[in-house]
Structure 1
Amino acid sequence: MIKFEHVSKTYPNGVKGLQDINLEIEDGEFVGIIGMSGAGKSTFIRTINRLNNITEGKLTVDGVEISNLKGKALRRFRRKIGMIFQSYNLVPRITVIRNVMSSLVPDMSLWRVILGLFSKDDKIRALKALDRVSMLDKAFVRTDQLSGGQQQRVSLARTLAQNPSVLLADEPVAALDPVTAHEVMDDFKRINDELGQTVLINIHHVDLALDYAKRIIGIRAGRVVYDGPVSGVTQEILDNIYSKNEAE
């Protein structure tokens, strides 16, 4: 479970990224986070794995207050939280399988990292992750030969290989065409359904959020202005989420 208790985030320049967030996300949920650009969606996502530190309140994941984590404890915690970005963050001139196996480096000994030695189990783990996103046939292709959608699937496979309990995705389909965006969202849904992994997606496309997520969190001016099932999202609620006026 992920639990926000009066969580706020104020940046050094005084901008309030989040304001008094109170909510719980149960294990296995598929949550779509929607709102205008600058509303605080990315800030919300990135507080969960401590890419952004909160400035007020309490944020716990599986009962652990993450603000207290430091050093090795923080690194171990982050291994349980997978993160997928819009920009893929892949190494273009190496093969797909080596990109996926790069997620295993933190668990390897220093000499294996230096020599680039991956075990048979590492390779099997990477191949299984690629199979999950229908990219097994591209395992030994150089990554820079793939389309944008294929690269995002490799990015997802790389995250799956580290066996996280939570998947965070920050605008994962923003750069993709509509058909490819649906294909990538299909992967997220299948992973959520089959593996039971918690999925939180910050997504610009409202239609995709409503098609794939089971729960919607609407953020405006750093505040949650809607939190509920997809079936409860009306045009009036969307108008409120995307209003240019600050939340009360």
Structure 2
Amino acid sequence: MIKFEHVSKTYPNGVKGLQDINLEIQDGEFIGIIGMSGAGKSTFIRTINRLNNITEGSLMVDGVEISTLKGQTLRQYRRKVGMIFQSYNLVPRISVIKNVMSSLVPDMPFWRVLLGLFSKEEKISALEALDRVSMLDKAFVRTDQLSGGQQQRVSLARTLTQNPSVLLADEPVAALDPVTAHEVMDDFKRINEELGQTVLINIHHVDLALEYSKRIIGIRAGKVVYDGPVSGMTQEILDVIYSKDEAE
């Protein structure tokens, strides 16, 4: 379980990224996070893997206050929190399977990293992850030969090899056409249902958020203005979330 208690984030320039966030996320939930650009959606999900440190409050994951984690303990924690970015972050000139196996590097001895040696079990794990996102047939293709949607699926497969309990996705389909965006969202939904992994997706497309999520968190000016089931979402609530009036 992830628990936010009076969490705020203020950047060095004084901008308030988050303001007094209080909520709980249960294991296995599929949550869509919506809001205007700059509302604090990315800040919110990046506090969970400590890419952003909170400045006030408490953020507990499975009973552990993550703001106190340091060094190896923090690195081990981050292995359980997978992150998928809009930009894929793949190495273009190597094969798909090597990109996927690159997620294993932090746990490998230096000499194996230096020589690029992966065990049979690690290769099988990478192939299984690719199979989960329907990319097994592209395992030995160079990554720069793939479409944007295919590259995002490879990015997702790479994250799956970490065996994370939580998947964070920061605008994973923003650069994709509608058909491909649905295909990638289908992958997230299937992983959530089959593996029971908690999924939090910061998503620009409200229609996709409402279609795939079971719970919506609406953020405006760093504050949670809606937190509830998709069935409770109304046009009036959407108007509040996407209001351009910043006078609060």
TM-score (norm 1): 0.99
Alpha-carbon offset, residue 158 of structure 1: 0.2
Cα 1:6–1:132 change in 2 (3 A) is same
1:213 lines up with 2:204 in the alignment: no
Letter in 2 for 1:37: S
Which residue of structure 2 aligns with residue 108 of structure 1? 108
Q: How does 1:145-184 map to 2 (within 5 A)?
A: 145-184=145-184
Which residue of structure 1 aligns with residue 6 of structure 2? 6
* Percent of aligned positions that are identical: 89
Question: Hey, what's the Cα distance between the residues in 1 that align with 2:198 and 2:34?
Answer: 17
Equivalent residue pairs, number: 248
Letter in 2 for 1:243: S
Alpha-carbon offset, residue 11 of structure 1: 0.1
Which residue of structure 2 aligns with residue 187 of structure 1? 187
Contact 1:214 1:229 (C-alpha < 8 Å) held by counterparts? yes
Which residue of structure 2 aligns with residue 223 of structure 1? 223
RMSD: 0.6
* Residue segments in structure 1 that go unaligned for 5+ positions in a row: none
Contact 1:223 1:247 (C-alpha < 8 Å) held by counterparts? no
Question: Hey, what's the Cα distance between the residues in 2 that align with 1:105 and 1:245?
Answer: 47
Q: Look up the SS of the partner of 1:52 in the other structure.
A: coil
Contact 1:220 1:247 (C-alpha < 8 Å) held by counterparts? no
Cα 1:166–1:247 change in 2 (3 A) is farther
CA deviation profile, 1:86-125 (whole Å, cap 9, x unmatched)? 0000000000000000000011111101111000001000
Question: Hey, what's the Cα distance between the residues in 1 that align with 2:246 and 2:55?
Answer: 21
Contact 1:91 1:143 (C-alpha < 8 Å) held by counterparts? yes
Q: Look up the SS of the partner of 2:182 in the other structure.
A: helix
Letter in 1 for 2:39: A
Question: Hey, what's the Cα distance between the residues in 2 that align with 1:122 and 1:60?
Answer: 31
Question: Hey, what's the Cα distance between the residues in 1 that align with 2:80 and 2:62?
Answer: 11
CA deviation profile, 1:183-223 (whole Å, cap 9, x unmatched)? 00000000001000000000000000000000000000000
Contact 1:225 1:247 (C-alpha < 8 Å) held by counterparts? no
Cα 1:48–1:154 change in 2 (3 A) is same
Contact 1:32 1:203 (C-alpha < 8 Å) held by counterparts? yes
Which residue of structure 1 aligns with residue 30 of structure 2? 30
TM-score (norm 2): 0.99
Question: Hey, what's the Cα distance between the residues in 2 that align with 1:180 and 1:126?
Answer: 22
1:81 lines up with 2:81 in the alignment: yes
Question: Hey, what's the Cα distance between the residues in 1 that align with 2:57 and 2:162?
Answer: 29
Alpha-carbon offset, residue 244 of structure 1: 1.4
Q: How does 1:62-141 map to 2 (within 5 A)?
A: 62-141=62-141
Question: Hey, what's the Cα distance between the residues in 1 that align with 2:246 and 2:76?
Answer: 38
Deviates more, 1:87-96 or 1:237-246: 237-246
Question: Hey, what's the Cα distance between the residues in 2 that align with 1:125 and 1:62?
Answer: 26
Q: Look up the SS of the partner of 2:37 in the other structure.
A: coil
Question: Hey, what's the Cα distance between the residues in 1 that align with 2:106 and 2:78?
Answer: 11
